[in-house]
Structure 1
């Protein structure tokens, strides 16, 4: 396949109309609204990573500048030996099905079987919004490790579900999804991150295995951001935004996409949080 099948590209029913570019947008102030459409390859689990980053939250988050901040946790304290940690959870947070987040959900999500690599001996709810994590070994870096996408918080610990059934506390609620093919989600109204993240009204992710076809989809306005290994070919330098640069690129975007001043470098697609961090101008 070397040309785009314009009728079949968004088989999920996503809009495929060409949107006019609106000028440069690097480092512009975030703007709410619009649809952010991403094209990713099938390998490396990029669709899964970006989709789950939109739907789920973790206790902590590492910002694009590398600084640790609370997400579902508002504060934490360790015992002197760093083997027991107490986390206070954000109150008033609801899952996409309307149920309130509690420490029981966090404990179930971070139990000894689910918290891979953390060596959690026991995860216990001390109250409705306080969590105790007891470790097998001292670990002063636990809050940083909890920011990893492997440690998402799900209702009653139900983390390993198909994307179409995913229910989290993230900025976006799943509308429809098909593994390794496409994903569409809408912004959650009144989310606790409103005004700081989750700018687009709708996020769409589509898998396009061929890099040249992803580039064509970007050029022709079918998608707004594409994971691309290089800017040559159908793309002309100067007409698109490249991250990190046109010489060493991972992502290319149209000029009507807002890119944060700093982009997370730990994993592809802005540490999997591209859906909530990038915006449409």
Structure 2
């Protein structure tokens, strides 16, 4: 691998490093194709171009955003938001309740989390008061209104058909150059309503291979690289001009599997696969994050939905073989299990946006081979996973599921398990009566203690039934050049916090 990088490394080292005191350069794996929040809004909230009514702190608690106060009626059907004074969009027009209602109305008609909310109407009572009325109580609404797909844009941002012509947000940076799918440039807003940014310009670059991005920061061509591959960590850790930040985030590397497949339908088969995984070895030797083994789907950072009393999942290949033998599987001459004339052979797909996934998948391939399960591994576009769910072709997929995509994971869990137990990124072919009904009840549960108890029951059902198999709790690895000061990482991945950063004198 080092030899394969050598020509690129020599090329990068021959280039002049980026020492422009006016420009911060960021690099990441995720491409973008539009300025529409419903499609690529994560880029624009991370770069602090667009903002939402509510925000989220490091613990996943809702805090003021463009709305400085909010109130909920006793029946949970009416939410009222008081907008901040003095906020202007990047086109110079003021933020008003009417403009916010217009943006939310467009968002509600497009794919996104807002479609799951039972919104009856959005009203602008006066220039600074926005009222949202629901057809039924919906506890996750606040978290939904902190999601990037609900970013508030100026009315001039939209064409007549509701698509975005040019993004005019309210953040400390405005969009200056748009070059999809790989490059954006943003410029500091001088009259921002909050604390002004320190660095005048930020360039965001994406689409390169993980090892190439690491070499760019080592060569000084990029200041910050998000989502490093495990192989780069050793190289970066030996440098004085780059620091690697490791931050646990509410994301889990997990195996989505087709529980309707005849090899995976029995719970004992899923338990056997789970017990065959040496999570400790994968965490320490493959992804270089000792202690990252997952024993349930939701990580500790999603405290209300994580059961701290659950024991680690045992690494027990002998027990896994015994479970499969009890289901009628017996080893053939080459060690692969057979039953009724069929070999225990499956295909696992994963995607390259998270560079550790393919490496972890190949480790899983070897560990499952040890208990007699043959596994092919291939890389697809991430869109291939929901596509395989819908057409029934998916057998197994290794994914990094973000349980902090919405601050309260209830709406995401409904997406994953609410349709009788199935969802694009959650379970497949798994039927369960208790869990979908419980999730729906929690959307309107007014008593905090009952809500907490219900969340713990959700964690227990998922751990018992294993419709999806947890592997590792995710740690975000970020390389930061030494000239960058005041770096911090948002565990909910909403905001790169570039406005708080500065360059060393």
Same fold per superposition (TM over 0.5): yes
Aligned residues of 2:98 and 2:124 also touching (Cα < 8 A): yes
1:187 aligns to 2:188 (yes or no): yes
Residue segments in structure 2 that go unaligned for 5+ positions in a row: 34-38, 248-287, 290-474
Residue from 83, 88, 113 that aligns with 2:109: 113
Aligned residues of 1:212 and 1:234 also touching (Cα < 8 A): no
Range with greater deviation from structure 2 (141-150 or 80-89)? 141-150
Cα distance in 1 for partners of 2:131, 2:41 equals 29
Cα distance in 2 for partners of 1:47, 1:238 equals 34
1:105 CA drift (Å):
1.1
1:260 CA drift (Å):
4.7
1:176 CA drift (Å):
0.5
Question: Match of 2:236, SS?
Answer: coil
1:242 matched residue in structure 2: 244
Cα distance in 2 for partners of 1:149, 1:188 equals 20
Q: Deviations over 1:165-197 (max 9, x none)?
A: 2111111111101121100011100211225xx
Range with greater deviation from structure 2 (209-218 or 35-44)? 35-44
Cα distance in 2 for partners of 1:149, 1:76 equals 19
1:63 CA drift (Å):
2.0
**Equivalent runs, 1:1-281 vs 2, <5 Å:** 3=8, 17-19=17-19, 34-42=22-30, 49-53=42-46, 54-111=48-105, 112-114=108-110, 115-156=114-155, 158=158, 160-161=163-164, 165-194=166-195, 198-227=197-226, 228-230=228-230, 231-232=232-233, 234-239=235-240, 240-244=242-246, 247=289, 248-260=475-487, 263-267=489-493, 271-281=494-504
Question: Match of 1:55, SS?
Answer: coil
Cα distance in 1 for partners of 2:44, 2:72 equals 32
1:64 CA drift (Å):
2.6
Cα distance in 1 for partners of 2:483, 2:98 equals 42
Question: Match of 1:94, SS?
Answer: coil
Q: Deviations over 1:55-78 (max 9, x none)?
A: 101001102343321111011111
Aligned residues of 1:40 and 1:47 also touching (Cα < 8 A): no
Aligned residues of 2:29 and 2:210 also touching (Cα < 8 A): yes
Question: Match of 1:214, SS?
Answer: helix
Q: Deviations over 1:234-259 (max 9, x none)?
A: 53435322221674542111122234
Residue segments in structure 1 that go unaligned for 5+ positions in a row: 10-15, 21-32
Aligned residues of 1:65 and 1:264 also touching (Cα < 8 A): no
Question: Match of 2:133, SS?
Answer: strand
Cα distance in 1 for partners of 2:245, 2:211 equals 17
Aligned residues of 2:78 and 2:133 also touching (Cα < 8 A): yes
Matched residue pairs, number? Answer: 253
Cα distance in 2 for partners of 1:279, 1:97 equals 26
- Which structure has more RCO (C-alpha within 8 Å, separation ≥ 6)? 1
Which has a greater percent of helix?
A: 2
Q: Larger C-alpha radius of gyration, 1 or 2?
A: 2
CA 1:42/1:67 → structure 2, altered by over 3 Å: closer, same or farther? Answer: closer
Give TM-score scaled by structure 1 length.
0.78
CA 1:232/1:116 → structure 2, altered by over 3 Å: closer, same or farther? Answer: same
1:222 CA drift (Å):
1.0
1:233 CA drift (Å):
6.3
